[in-house]
Homo-oligomer: A and B are copies of this chain.
Amino acid sequence: MNPLDFTKLDGLITAVAQDWQTGEVLMLAFMNQEAWEETVKTRRAVYFSRSRQRLWRKGEESGNVQLVKEILVDCDRDAVVLKVEQIGGAACHVGYNSCFFTRIEEDGTEKIIKAEKVFDPEKVYGKK
């Protein structure tokens, strides 16, 4: 298995999911060794949820899985880029296609740059 460096971040590496067609960064998450190996093997994005402290097979609840089209490793071998096809069109639990929907303007104010949500979180995850 392709050895990565999990020592710098308490057993984790960082993973950037990028839309394989548009290049838009969809989300940032973490992987432990097991998540990494399963991702390479299955070609579906598997992360490690820090809040839940367990493997997080992206889309396991929402159905919005990420089909991995390309995997890139960085020079330090502690970060990866996954070029993915995002099933359902939305990577973010808030309902936008990307988690990066807030822009910091030159004057320091913030602006939501997405026109609309792809899905309604309450319908996908239920009221919380």
Chain A interface residues toward B at CB < 8 A: 1-2, 8-9, 14, 16, 18, 22-25, 27-28, 40, 43, 50, 70-76, 79-81, 92-94, 96, 99-104, 106, 108, 110, 113
Residue of B nearest to A25 (CB): B81
Complex interface: chain B residues within 8 A of A113 (CB): 72
Task: Determine chain A's interface SS by DSSP, over half rule.
Answer: loop
> How many copies altogether?
2
Among B14, B75, B99, point to the contact of A101 (Cβ < 8 A). Answer: B75
The one of B22, B25, B73, B94 that contacts A16, using a Cβ cutoff of 8 Å:
B25
CB distance from A50 to the nearest CB of B (A): 7
Which residue from B73, B76, B101 sits with its C-beta under 8 Å from A104?
Answer: B73
